[in-house]
Amino acid sequence: MLEIVNKLKDIRSSILLTGETGTGKSRLARLLHEKSSFSHRPLVIVDCASLNKTLIESELFGHTKGAYTGAVESRVGRCEIVREGTLVLDEIGELNLDLQKKLLYLLEERKFCPLGSNTERKFNGRIIAATNKDLKKMVVDGTFRKDLYYRLLVFYHKLPSLSEDQQLLQDTISTIFNNFKNSRKRSDLYLSSRCKKFLCSQSWPGNIRQIKNCLEYVFQFTKHPKVEIEDLPSWLLDEADSVEALTLQQVESKGILIIPNLPLDYRDALGTFENKYFNHVLNHFGGKINCTAEKLRISKSTLLSKVKKYSINTWQIKANANMALLDLS
């Protein structure tokens, strides 16, 4: 993340951040402002998903007295408050087409007009837009303006899900854990190697947000210094158990694989089992990720996280499968 912060921090043009829920888009937007040369200017954040059409237009551009029912006095909008700072539009995919048109005008002309006024005002800030939606698909569906999409796309960064990057997952867990240690004044607390291994083996569909929830629980209820798997919240252990039950069910019902001589420790045994299991099924289906995930009834992201975790060379598996086909022909 430091690399992308250094690359984009001082860019004055608009920036588009995309990624799944909980990947840290808001955190990155804040870092881009805090590390910029204009960090002393205001940082203004607008959640586009939480306000209705009238309120968000007023929130962004302001309004004059009597501009709409309930507007008993004039109000300054966020575009004016931000001055030369950074305006973050979170969940920009929630804006309707009318507001998208006004946002496009703001980006291109650097001007805006408060509700109920005909007098344009100059916009001097930088816009960072964030969304977890597929804007390209929305353009095809007609729910997001094509011209606005390409106007935002100039400076663009997609945040990966944690399941796509094992090193990022490890660093994220470590960073969040250390932040909690400092804020909760629990310097005595540490993760056992077994617990670390378990946390890094999970797919974390909720990404950073889910990890924060998990570790917040740990710091709230763990009284002894050493954090074990048993100290983790039940919802995480239940989710992990459901994945384990699924893979075991596949083996039991299909008779795909039997692994003897597993380690005595349950988590170590699970790791050994998963390693051989996913190697076996990927070889069985010729290294095809989509096909294998579908047959196993697990998500593609979960399968990819296992491939990375156990360093499974799917390209080699595919090559071997193709060679086998050639030998048969």
pLDDT digit string, tens, across residues 143-178: 999 999 999 998 999 998 887 778 888 989 999 999
| pLDDT surpassing 90 at residue 125 | yes
Mind listing the pLDDT tens digit for each residue in 34-69? 999 999 999 999 999 888 776 888 899 999 988 887
Give me 25's structure tokens: 């888009």
Q: Alpha-carbon distance 239 to 235, whole Å?
A: 6
Sheet holding 126-131, edge to edge: 43-47, 86-90, 126-131, 15-18, 155-158
Contacts of 12 (CB under 8 A, 6+ apart): 126
Residue 9 has pLDDT above 90, yes or no: yes
pLDDT at 313 over 80: yes
Interval 316-325: pLDDT, tens: 888 776 665 5
> For residue 243, what pLDDT is reported?
47
Span 10-23, pLDDT tens digits:
999 999 999 988 88
Q: How many CB atoms lie within 10 A of CB 217?
A: 16
Asked if residue 247 has pLDDT above 80, the reply is no
Are 112 and 106 in contact by the 8 Å Cβ rule? The answer is: yes
The answer on pLDDT for 291 being more than 90 is no
In the chain, what percentage of residues exceed pLDDT 70? 88
Q: Which fold has domain 163-232?
A: Helicase, Ruva Protein; domain 3 (1.10.8)
Distance of alpha carbon 318 from its chain centroid, rounded?
30
Confidence check: pLDDT of 274 > 90 = no
Secondary structure of the chain in the HEC alphabet? CHHHHHHHCCCCCCEEEECCCCCCHHHHHHHHHHCCCCCCCCEEEEECCCCCHHHHHHHHHEECCCCCCCCCCCEECHHHHCCCCEEEEECHHHCCHHHHHHHHHHHHHCEECCECCCCCEECCCEEEEEECCCHHHHHHHCCCCHHHHHHHCCEEEECCCHHHCHHHHHHHHHHHHHHHHHHCCCCCCEECHHHHHHHHCCCCCCHHHHHHHHHHHHHHHCCCCEECHHHCCHHHHHHHHHHHHHHHHHHHHHCCCCCCCCCCCHHHHHHHHHHHHHHHHHHHCCCCHHHHHHHHCCCHHHHHHHHHHCCCCHHHHHHHHHHHHHHHC
The CATH T-level fold of domain 2-159 is: Rossmann fold (3.40.50)
Q: In a 10 Å sphere around its CB, with 0-12 CB exposed, 13-18 middle and 19+ buried, how is residue 325 labelled?
A: exposed
Task: Locate the domains of the chain by residue range.
Answer: 2-159, 163-232, 241-329
pLDDT value of position 212? 94
How confident is the model over 79-96, as pLDDT tens digits? 999 999 999 999 999 999
Better-predicted residue by pLDDT, 59 or 248: 59
Neighbours of 282 (CB within 10 A): 25
| 248 pLDDT higher than 80 | no
